[in-house]
Chain A
Amino acid sequence: MEQVPIVKIGQTLFVSIQIDLQDDTVVRLQEDLADELSRTGASGVIIDITAVEIVDSFIGRMLTMIGSISRLFDAETVIVGMRPAVAITLTELGLSLSGVRTALNAEKGLEILNGKS
């Protein structure tokens, strides 16, 4: 199983998904992020999905859960870089990703996190 790397810069954990996501990989990412949040006390998570070609109901649910889990560690999650076709498909699928914030790109995502003190 492939692993998605998590990089800590300042108080933020950065995740950039560059592979075709399997269910197991997303579950692993969720666990790794919980571990990292607990270990580092980071206050924010940015998940860059610029390279992600599809978000189906399972991946969408996992992203929402990552948002809920990080809140339990007093951290906020921002999903950035969603492709237009993915946004349209997610909406038609009936997924709203409620509970996670989204931003156009990593820079804007960081602004959201930095506005939170």
Chain B
Amino acid sequence: MDELPIQSGDDVVRVRQQVRTAAAENGLSLVDQTKLVTAASELARNTLVHGGGGRARIEVVKSANGRAGVKLHFADEGPGIADIGLALTDGWTSGNGLGLGLSGARRLVDEFELDSKPGTGTTVMVVKWSR
């Protein structure tokens, strides 16, 4: 699927809408759709605010046992995260938020992979499976 730019608040809303559509079309329940869209919102905001902008990609995937899922990729070339363990801790914040963005997003999805190095940017991949 096409890459979606994340350069503004409007783009974050557009990513949420596209994720909602993909989740609904692939059999995720309303609660799971809401969880995935909420996670997407947190991650897209991180890409915009901390990564200085970037892009998202939405992919439809199938598990080994035939379940459909929606996989999201977020990437930026921002400053990166020096201490990933710390960044994933509830309540730890680099700004004036609650520090629930990254850790909360991880709880809302079934699979979560974060890759980041200082100076090279950050990529996050998440998957939510239909039940």
A85 at the interface (CB under 8 A from B): yes
**Cα distance A47–B100 in the bound complex, in angstroms:** 23
Q: Which listed residue, B12, B34, B103, touches A89 by the CB 8 Å rule? A: B34
**Cα distance A33–B9 in the bound complex, in angstroms:** 21
For B3-24 the 0/1 string (1 means CB < 8 A from A) is: 0000001101100110010000
User: Contact at B45–A22, with CB atoms within 8 Å?
Assistant: no
Closest Cβ of chain B to A91, distance in Å, is 10
User: Contact at A93–B108, with CB atoms within 8 Å?
Assistant: yes
**Cα distance A93–B10 in the bound complex, in angstroms:** 23
User: Contact at A85–B33, with CB atoms within 8 Å?
Assistant: yes
B85 at the interface (CB under 8 A from A): no
A17 cross-chain contacts in B, Cβ below 8 A: none
User: Contact at B38–A93, with CB atoms within 8 Å?
Assistant: yes
Closest Cβ of chain B to A21, distance in Å, is 8
B107 cross-chain contacts in A, Cβ below 8 A: 92-94
A88 at the interface (CB under 8 A from B): yes
Residues of B within 8 A of A (CB): 9-10, 12-13, 16-17, 20, 30-31, 33-35, 37-38, 41-42, 45, 90, 97-98, 100-101, 103-104, 107-108
Given contacts A89-B31, A92-B108, 9 further A-B contacts (CB under 8 A): A22-B13, A25-B9, A57-B101, A58-B45, A61-B97, A89-B35, A92-B104, A94-B103, A95-B100
